[in-house]
Amino acid sequence: MPTPPVPPVEDCLSQENCPALAWHRQRLAELAQQAASDSLTGLWNRAHFDRMLDSELDRSRRYRQPVALILFDVDHFKRINDLHGHQAGDAVLRELALVAHSALRAPDALFRWGGEEFVILAPSTGHRGAQRLAQSLCLRVADATFPAIGKLTVSAGVAEHLDAESGNDWFQRADAMLYRAKSEGRNRICTDARGNSDRWAERNGTSALHLVWQEAYECGEPTIDGEHRRLFDLANALIDAFLSGKDESTAIVPAYERLLEHIARHFADEEAILARHGFAGLERHRCAHAGLLARAHALRSEVAAGSAGLGRLIEFLAADVVARHLFKTDSDFYTLFAGDGPSRASIPSG
């Protein structure tokens, strides 16, 4: 493809409106894109991964947001090349890049590491969220049909950044999880279930004026976890209504009604899910729900009468709902969902 002619500098009337400078800027951007891209798949390449890694780690430390890696590769890729040839193998990698990209969220970045290995850099994501993302990826790959060969599977290793480890050490933990997934039979995910999200949750607890959801609070059942996160959002909206100084009837009471309605619906949904999973402590859990809901209704009357202040409200939300119920009572059933899904989460020994 011939190089387009460079506009003459003489055409420039000013630096701000100069065709030659604009041409050079565009060419530099194109060359930078080429240098950062993998020629076979069009994904970001290994060199660009190294550049992005440092900036993501800096952002994670500065804003105390978790960041995770997913390292995955094609199962039995050598067999594909041996049976169908390298051109078929290249076609598989190009198609895999498209399938994998369709599983990503907007902030995620996908790289070709080399050969049949790929890396996903997942910002603001702990090891639990990264495992779910890896599950989505593996399911999409398994459902796809690839040119010349038909079906294939991938294996993945997941690791969240931990403490002050280097980027290389972090990558090696993800690589160790991928190796474990391969050695345990392939077509699976292994996760190093450690990370800054858990450590920050242990150190922070709950704020006096704002309930902060942490990924470490998840049990692994999507409906329950989603409703717990929604509970935090509605509780914070109620606190904000108190702090706004608006009239009780126009701000505080409606916000409390929305929270109370959600709590009742969540308890019913949670009990139905636990019943389906045969939770042995279901009746005890129902009693705990009934007691908490009774206290919530009693507090509603106090809120409506203006006799319950912000301190009483926060004590109920932070102590009764979050600390005692979510952290202690709900933790009794978390083991029910530890093995859900097509993957298996692994904690490395030592």
Write the single-letter amino acid at 148.
A
**Size of the chain, expressed as the number of residues it contains:** 350
Report CA-CA distances (Å) from 78 to 110, 111, 254, 286, 339: 22, 20, 62, 54, 31
Q: Decide if 315 is catalytic.
A: no
Contact (CB, 8 A) for 273 and 223: yes
Alpha-carbon span 80 to 75, nearest angstrom: 9
Contact (CB, 8 A) for 11 and 17: no
Report CA-CA distances (Å) from 19 to 2, 8, 28, 31, 141: 19, 8, 14, 18, 46
Contacts of 4 (CB under 8 A, 6+ apart): 23
Alpha-carbon span 236 to 56, nearest angstrom: 29
**Two tokens, residue 340:** 């859900």
The catalytic residue among 56, 95, 116, 218 is 116
Q: How many CB atoms lie within 10 A of CB 296?
A: 18
Which of 292, 242, 284 is CA-nearest to residue 264? 292
Catalytic residues: 116
